[in-house]
Amino acid sequence: MRTCGATPGGPDLSGVDLSKQTVIQGAVLRAGIADGVPNGAPVGNAYVRLLDAQGEFTAEVPTNVDGQFRFFAAPGSWTIVVLAAGAREEVKVEAIQGTPVELVIELH
Amino acid sequence: MSRSNSLVSTDWVAENLSNPNVVFVEVDEDTTLYDKGHIQGAIKFHWRDDLQDGLIRDVISKEKFEALLSKSGISNDTTVILYGGNNNWFAAYAYWYFKLYGHQDVRLIDGGRKLWEIQARDLTEEVPTPIATRYVAQERDQSIRAFRDEVIAAIGVKNIVDVRSPAEFSGELAAPAHLPQEAGQIKGHVPTAKNIPWSKAANEDGTFKSNDELSDLYQGAGVDFTQETIAYCRIGERSAFSWFVLSELLDLQNVKNYDGSWTEYGSLVGVPVAIGA
């Protein structure tokens, strides 16, 4: 869980076998400063879409109350698209097995 | 069926929140979203707890379906409006289910829960208290449901549409990318199946594409609309979405959802399997 002062990112990875999974995860935040933390408030009702290297839709998840999301992908190039009320952000990532991709996506 | 009597817009929903002949049902695999906020007046169905037999792998019995709808305040002449997260996958599955048991007036919210939220429309935590009815279901309409032997017999003969992601179709992934990649079944697809991911039928905001776009999509991928079509995915819910597109929006005859889908097919001994794109 994200706590004040902690590095924002995806959900807790305990219980996930990282030797077998290719994880892309992160947190969606409103740009700005909240509670003294140099990132904005978590966006808990955003939709995060995972597109493959050809731009084809692969998966979509809603963020949790901490603005977090997680995908179990395969190694390679992926695009993350975040949709929320009044906002859309796109981020390209390279995923590898064993080391999770941790993202912080700010909505403007 | 057609677009006008199987789909409603979010504007229509906003205007009919207090319509006494309408029951809204949020359907999903994770109903905690409902608990945090839902469309005013909506009740919830859990895809597994409410709609799966639980002992054997099958849809619930006619009697259980009648009991579920009766306690939910749904009458035979109720207009049932279904919606959910996951781009309406589970809502489409429930739609197929309502048709399986012969409900007349059931529709999906175009765009589902996602569009409702992206449009920043109101959600409530207030849970309604339905007035019980005495719902009478029809016998199952097996003309919209395919079983495994029919799928095997359809190889190279009928349209088989695999609506999973390209990575699942090719055998690279065993499940959608938001789920852990551990599963008992082998990977791959039914030989001669066309891979037309469910997502190609939807816009980014979750609404369905136009009928012209949808016709071009399926016919362009080699689906012969004069032939019978079987749609499948992993557990039968994404294929219910594509069944909805083909059967209800495009009004095609002889479209079946194979709800056993890859979790069944990929576990069968000795059946043909193909891998690669």
Of the partner residues B85, B177, B200, the one whose CB lies closest to the CB of residue A50: B177
If pLDDT is split at 50, 70 and 90, which confidence band does A5 have? Answer: very low
| Confidence check on the interface: ipTM exceeds 0.90, yes or no | no
Mutate to test the interface with A, among B30, B38, B118 (most CBs of A within 10 A): B118
Whether A58 and B205 lie within 8 Å, measured CB to CB: no
Report pLDDT digits (tens) over A35-93: 555 567 899 889 999 998 988 888 889 999 899 999 998 899 999 999 998 899 999 99
What is the pLDDT at residue B175? 84
Tokens (6 digits) for B263: 């979790």
What is the pLDDT at residue A38? 53
Q: Can you give the pTM of this predicted structure?
A: 0.89
What is the pLDDT at residue B80? 98
Q: Which residue of A has its CA nearest to B205?
A: A83
Which residues in chain B have Cβ-Cβ distances shorter than 8 Å to A84? 118
Chain B: closest CA distance from residue A50 (Å):
8
Q: Which mean pLDDT values do the consecutive 10-residue runs of chain B (277 residues) have?
A: 92 97 95 92 96 94 98 98 93 97 98 95 96 98 97 98 92 81 84 96 95 98 97 96 97 96 95 95
What is the pLDDT at residue B181? 73
Instruction: Select the highest-mean-pLDDT range: A8-17, A18-27, B156-165.
Output: B156-165
